[in-house]
Amino acid sequence: MYASMRRIKCAPGKAHEVAQRIEEQFVPQMRTVPGFLVYYLVDVGNDEVSSISIFQNQAGADAANQKAGAWVKQSLGDITAGPLEASAGEVLVSAPA
């Protein structure tokens, strides 16, 4: 399993609008990436959101970050306050319920 992790600094008060656009526009794109398993977006406070996507393989995690970079520039540029930070790697510990 591999994870793709991203962090976005939102314009003040825009975290929920960022989340809405991600849910409506970006998540459907993630579902088309081969190996996609799950997507989470977390409001981490201070007008920042962080996401994690889980994939069956590294290629999927890497592809997700490439798609995210282009999509954020095109679709969130008006309500973000900084560049997308992205990384990907192998999941070393998984602890389902």
pLDDT at 53: 97
Walk me through the domains of the chain, giving residue ranges and CATH numbers.
Answer: 2-81 (3.30.70.100)
pLDDT at 72: 94
Q: What is the pTM of this model?
A: 0.91
Tell me the C-alpha to C-alpha distance, in Å, between residue 30 and each of 4, 27, 86, 93.
11, 5, 15, 23
pLDDT at 34: 95
Sites in the chain below the pLDDT cut of 50: none
pLDDT at 4: 96
pLDDT at 5: 97
